[in-house]
Chain A
Amino acid sequence: MNKVDLNQWFPIATPEDLPKRHVFHATLMGQEMAVWRDDNGAVNVWENRCPHRGLRLTLGANTGTELRCQYHGWTYETGTGGCTFVPAHREATEPSKARVNSFPAREKHGLIWTSLGQPAGEPISILDDAQLVNAVKTNLHSTVVGTEIDNLISVLRSNLTAFVDVFGVSDVDDLHLKTMQQDRAILVTKTGAVAIHLYLQRATITKTLVHAQVLTPGRSGYELQKNFAFAMNSIRRLAEAQTAELITIKDISDQTIEEVEAVKENLSKAPPTQYLCEVVTRTQETGDINSYWLKPIGYPLPAFSAGMHVSITTPDGCIRQYSLVNAPDEQESFIIGVKKELQSRGGSKSMHELVKVGTQLKLTLPRNGFPFVPTGKRPILVAGGIGITPILCMAQALSQQGTPFEIHYFARGAEHVPFQDRLTALGASLNLHFGLGPDETRAKLADIMWEHEPNSIDVYTCGPQPMIETVSAVALEHGVAEDSIRFEFFSKKNDTPVSDEEYEVELSKTGHSFVVPSGSTLLQACLDNNVQIEASCEQGVCGTCMTAVVSGDIEHHDTYLSKKERESGKWIMPCVSRCKSKKIVLDL
């Protein structure tokens, strides 16, 4: 058997396998996957294993925005797979750094695709035969066959008689099977009026799935679907009967589960949390706003959800957050808008002056702090200034879904509006309001909201702080519930400071020394100064970052070290503990 290239797109399901709120169990070359669709329609393909205690996520619940694990109720958000809630610690602001490993996902050509590596480009369907250019393509039921893929193909080849009724021909010689690559086939009549495209999926070394699509001149009917199911059933029986000696169960505890090499490789190849991206497009949108397309190098664009932002290390070294503008089908690059702030501390200034096509930037994908949550209520989207970016992202998604909504953009004037083509494409849902002062804005917002019953709308807003405050106030006055008003401030979030006073750190082995600034953890300070310390939970629980101490008065906040270890003063958990004295010397 030839080695399969893992860096391609593999079909693993049909859209019908992903009904609302379902979690679908797929297996690809031994790798189990939990496949689910969020309420915005986006497909997630995740490793079927909760990062907490390894429970299969296919046993979990799809809440429409998150997958909830059935063991301890931990929830993981759509797109990034980041943990959003740990019921055992309800009030924790950062419940856990755990993230579900995910695989790239695409819904295209009537199939759901994923990859076990880094595919280039997009999934390609079996090209239609020239004669069938006007055909209607319909998905047929997928079939599970308990045999290895090459055996299945040879059984198909030698049993085309099974398909005589499907195509309504009188003779098997009127049928032709053409195989392509190692896992695709076209079944067609000699006249070519009807064709069936077969996509074979290697689930395990003893199981293959057959996904099928039929191309017919007009709509295909129930008869064809039924006959195809009967035909595949007889193929299945023939293929399974031919499969090497029946498995005899001597002693159930002797059974071992086959382990495919692909599985072992993949558990260590989780998609990166940090991406290196190359700028492929740079556009000046307005006098002070540029847009950039950032294409990840060596990895396909990960799943994203509207409202999400990315953290970018700007050319001058600081980290800034920018919301994604991507429409759901824009899956090649991260698209962001950057406004040059007048009082830029360096971030946006360097983005404008130093970032050009070809520049490479480091980017991470944090949890979505401003998700769009469909509730059935009418979304009222309000944006001001550069706050248009996440709002536009939501609007494009809603527009593609066909959900009715309104978007209101407040700007100084038409020349200050970025992404004009995208906004215009929103059609009647778009409302532009130019040159309104604070009082006029407030009055306009009241007009907008009073059009609707307060409990029939959800309000999403992003923009300058005073505008957000006004939108909230007006909505609340109108009687909109607090839960239905969602907003995002474009300001840097602060972690809970562990250290109030700064102290010095010295590394005994290199003599290197630096300061832990007030508000930073010892771990963060070490990482910022290029000291390699492996960390995992960052809550003082798991013990991964345990570091030896030479001297220093330690204040312990972890739950891992024993009493003796704490009292000895020889160990510290830098993720949560700190130094009470002026200086700590680490044995590094």
Chain B
Amino acid sequence: MSVDEVIFNDWHPVAALDDVASDKRYRCRLLGRTVSYVKSAEGVTALWEQGPEDIKHIHAKEIYGVLWLSFAEKPTEMFDIPEFNEPDRRVVSAGSVRVNVSGLRAIENFLDMAHFPFVHTDILGAEPLTEVEPYKVHHDEEKDEIFATECRFPQPKGSATAVEPIDMQYIYRITRPYSAILYKTCPPQPERWDALGLFIQPVDEDWCIAHTIMCYVDEVNSDQQLRHFQQTIFGQDLMILINQVPKRLPLAASRESPVRADVLATAYRRWMREKGVQYGTLRD
């Protein structure tokens, strides 16, 4: 099983930091390979375990509430999320969920608004307000990231903090094939944005673990309430993700039929096609 360079050289999440207890060896799979890690007072050491005698040290990094590993000697520079440095924000893990689908399908679902009234009924959307208004997509060539701005959707209960239906504003940011962040209206402080990161661990091409990290301005809800809201949403998406066929994301332009609401997803697929990403995709 070959792994393309873009994916191989990158950082990949393996756990929410909240879930990593000290001095305990954890083992899991990343890109089809067995890895393990231990957190101690000095930091995190990580290993790639190819066999009982064949063990290599690999890089580990703790940032954005998540533990990231990389197989590369010189991993790609980590992307920047300034909101995580703001002192009045709460960084809460919404849990890590294993899903039997390519992580790329999970990212694409995260970027989609058209499913809100049907999958997250009466929470993130409701009929008949199903129209997806035109929004703007651009490719930041310097950072090599994709941004979708001016996205909005009428939501009955758009977040744990929302007390009435609002027109939720969204910004979507795709930083890596397996990582995306959405920024949404922050009801208590409308001039700022709440950030929600979806950092996907590609276990292999057909399995992933979705690590969700909230970086919110919120003084009202408990961690448990925030998690409950997020997990309800994810549970609804889970039913969809495990029932998508094929499991890997088709990249050929003519394979699945987009409409204007899918401009961001089409840009995402095109971006990966042009970068030469193969892992977790179907290339016809």
Binding site for B on A (CB under 8 A): 32, 48-49, 51-56, 59, 70-73, 83, 86-90, 92, 95-98, 253, 256, 534, 536-537, 539, 541-544, 546, 559-560, 562-563
Contacts and interface: CB of A to CB of B under 8 A. Distances in A.
Interface centre among B117, B131, B207, B254 (most CB of A within 10 A): B254
A59 B246 CA distance: 16
A71 B246 contact: no
A253 B257 contact: no
Interface centre among B117, B239, B245, B266 (most CB of A within 10 A): B245
B117 A73 contact: yes
B245 A70 contact: no
Given A71-B119, A73-B117, A89-B132, A542 B258 contact: yes
B258 A54 contact: no
Contacts of B228: none
A88 B114 CA distance: 6
Chain B interface residue number, banded: 35 or more
Given A49-B245, A56-B245, A70-B240, A541 B258 contact: yes
Contact of A89 (B98, B245, B259): B259
Contacts of A560: 263, 266, 270
Given A48-B245, A89-B131, A53 B117 contact: no
A97 B258 CA distance: 10
A92 B245 CA distance: 27
Given A89-B132, A90-B130, A563-B138, A542 B243 contact: no
Contacts of A32: 245
A88 B253 contact: no
A52 B128 CA distance: 20
A574 to B, nearest CB: 14
A86 B115 CA distance: 11
Contacts of B115: 71-72
Contacts of A87: 114, 117-118, 127, 130-131
B225 interface: no
B207 A541 contact: no
Interface of B: 29, 98, 108, 112, 114-115, 117-119, 127-128, 130-132, 137-139, 203-204, 206-207, 239-240, 243-246, 250, 253-254, 256-263, 266, 270
Contacts of B246: 54
Given A73-B130, A253-B203, A536 B253 contact: yes
Contacts of B258: 52, 537, 541-542
A96 B256 contact: no
B266 A539 contact: no
A59 B243 contact: yes
A427 B193 CA distance: 70
B259 A536 contact: no
Contacts of A539: 259-260
B261 A89 contact: yes
A72 B114 contact: yes
A95 B259 contact: yes
Given A49-B245, A536-B257, 5 more contacts: A51-B257, A54-B256, A59-B243, A71-B119, A544-B254
B261 A54 contact: no
A73 B129 CA distance: 12
A560 B260 CA distance: 10
B257 A98 contact: yes
B272 to A, nearest CB: 13
A537 B245 CA distance: 20
Contact of B254 (A53, A86, A92, A542): A542
Contact of A55 (B29, B114, B244): B244
A195 to B, nearest CB: 40
Nearest to B270: A543
Contacts of A98: 257
Nearest to B119: A71
Contacts of A256: 206
Interface centre among B139, B250, B253 (most CB of A within 10 A): B253
27 contacts: A52-B257, A54-B246, A55-B240, A55-B243, A56-B244, A59-B239, A72-B112, A72-B114, A72-B118, A73-B127, A86-B261, A87-B114, A87-B118, A87-B127, A88-B130, A88-B260, A88-B261, A90-B130, A253-B98, A253-B207, A534-B254, A536-B254, A537-B258, A541-B258, A541-B263, A542-B266, A560-B270
Q: Which 9 A-B pairs have the closest CB atoms?
A: A87-B130, A88-B261, A98-B257, A88-B114, A536-B254, A88-B132, A544-B254, A544-B253, A56-B243
Interface centre among B114, B117, B244 (most CB of A within 10 A): B114
Nearest to A99: B257
Contacts of A48: 245
Nearest to B101: A54
A253 B266 contact: no
A187 B159 CA distance: 62
Given A253-B29, A253-B207, A71 B118 contact: yes
A440 to B, nearest CB: 44
Contacts of B260: 88-89, 539, 541, 559
Nearest to B114: A88
B256 A51 contact: yes
Contacts of B128: 90
A543 B266 contact: yes
B263 A559 contact: yes
A563 B137 CA distance: 10
Contacts of B259: 52, 86, 88-89, 92, 95-96, 537, 539, 541
A56 B114 CA distance: 17
Nearest to B250: A54
A98 B256 CA distance: 8
Given A542-B253, A542-B257, A543-B266, A562 B130 contact: no
Contacts of B112: 72
A54 B246 CA distance: 7
A322 to B, nearest CB: 28
Contacts of A49: 245
Contacts of A95: 259
Contacts of B130: 73, 87-88, 90
A539 B266 CA distance: 13
A544 B260 CA distance: 14
A559 B245 CA distance: 26
Contacts of B127: 73, 87
Interface centre among A32, A59, A253 (most CB of B within 10 A): A253
A26 to B, nearest CB: 15
A484 B27 CA distance: 64
Contacts of A559: 137, 260, 263, 266
A543 B240 CA distance: 26
